[in-house]
């Protein structure tokens, strides 16, 4: 077995959206695309006062990829043109496969706008292969207690398993979200002094973003708000906790396909983008009123 080495560290850039504190590591100054990962926004942490406007993400379309939203603190109200509605609280996750097209809204629930409170949210976009670009849209929203919890390194680490399988000491855990691909996704916490080894198929690209705290990989110290790009050789990742830390860790097959993006649409050709724009303008994604 061979450990993956760090190829590059990508620092998240500060790119606030109005009064919403936002750091974005992907795309960023040193990376455009980490196949199949398209985009990550890290909103917060911040505290909203009473009678606030909340999150600004009213109705907007998507086609050709998946959005995964991690609610670390606060709450999030989702609704979409596929008649999916939910309010997910701290520790929960939303997974939406836009496929052939959806209009959705992600805003703060009425209670949060009225009372205020702490908020921290991550949203990751994952590209779909050409054969699944026009798949039927679907959505899953799960609360914290519906996710799978796995202790690591004799409780010096902890994994919240969201999608995919994880094997440890002869036992297999399966994440509760069923995805159309073989994507593995988790949130992890590690304590100082921990040593975590995570298997990764050699044909998979790793997504590892440090939300808070400090870790060590390949003898490199890694601070918060950094995306780690790994070398492609190797079949596991070794993470050392140099302090208590929280990170987003996943992996998925590299698509190695042409990609053309235009705002909320990600397809394989310019013609497919033009069709997506036309379909949206002609109401083929369905409708959704402002929340």
Rounded to whole angstroms, the Cα distance separating 268 from 79 reads 27
Rounded to whole angstroms, the Cα distance separating 80 from 243 reads 40
Q: Is 277 helix (H, G, I), strand (E, B) or coil?
A: helix
CA-based nearest residue to 42, from 130, 120, 135 = 120
Whether 136 has a binding-site annotation, put simply, is: no
Q: Is 236 helix (H, G, I), strand (E, B) or coil?
A: strand
Rounded to whole angstroms, the Cα distance separating 247 from 165 reads 18
Give the N- to C-terminal CA distance of the chain in Å, as an integer.
Answer: 51
Beta-ladder partners of 66: 97, 126
Rounded to whole angstroms, the Cα distance separating 48 from 46 reads 7
Rounded to whole angstroms, the Cα distance separating 200 from 38 reads 20
Classify residue 12 by its DSSP letter: P
Rounded to whole angstroms, the Cα distance separating 247 from 222 reads 11
Contacts of 123 (CB under 8 A, 6+ apart): 39, 40, 41, 43, 67, 68, 69, 70, 106
Whether 62 has a binding-site annotation, put simply, is: yes
Whether 60 has a binding-site annotation, put simply, is: yes
| Residue 239 CB-density burial (10 A; 0-12 exposed, 13-18 middle, 19+ buried) | buried
Whether 104 has a binding-site annotation, put simply, is: yes
Helices (H), the chain: 110-115, 270-281
Numbered residues of the known binding site: 60, 62, 104, 106
Name the binding residues for Fe cation. Answer: 60, 62, 104, 106
């Amino acid at each position: 077995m061979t450990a993956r080495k760090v190829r590059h560290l990508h620092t998240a850039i500060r790119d606030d959206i109005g009064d919403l504190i936002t750091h974005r590591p992907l795309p960023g100054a040193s990376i455009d695309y980490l196949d199949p990962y398209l985009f990550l926004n890290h909103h917060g942490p911040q505290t909203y006062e009473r009678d606030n406007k909340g999150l600004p993400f009213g109705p907007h379309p998507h086609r050709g990829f998946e959005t995964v939203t991690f609610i670390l603190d606060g709450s999030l109200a989702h609704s979409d043109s596929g008649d999916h509605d939910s309010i997910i609280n701290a520790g929960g996750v939303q997974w939406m496969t836009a496929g052939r097209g959806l209009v959705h809204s992600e805003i703060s629930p009425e209670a949060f706008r009225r009372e205020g409170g702490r908020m921290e949210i991550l949203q990751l976009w994952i590209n779909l292969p050409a054969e699944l670009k026009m798949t039927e849209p679907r959505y899953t929203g799960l609360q914290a207690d519906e996710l799978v919890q796995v202790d690591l390194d004799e409780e010096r680490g902890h994994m919240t398993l969201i999608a995919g399988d994880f094997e440890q000491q002869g036992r297999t855990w399966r994440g509760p979200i069923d995805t159309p691909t073989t994507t593995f996704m988790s949130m992890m916490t590690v304590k100082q002094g921990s040593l975590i080894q995570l298997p990764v198929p050699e044909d998979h690209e790793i997504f590892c973003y440090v939300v808070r705290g400090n870790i060590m990989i390949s003898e490199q110290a890694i601070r918060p708000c950094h995306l780690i790009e790994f070398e492609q050789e190797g079949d596991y990742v070794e993470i050392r906790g140099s302090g208590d830390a929280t990170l987003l860790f996943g992996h998925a097959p590299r698509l190695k396909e042409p990609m053309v993006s235009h705002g909320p649409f990600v397809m394989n050709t310019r013609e497919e983008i033009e069709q997506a724009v036309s379909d949206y303008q002609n109401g083929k994604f369905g409708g959704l009123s402002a929340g």
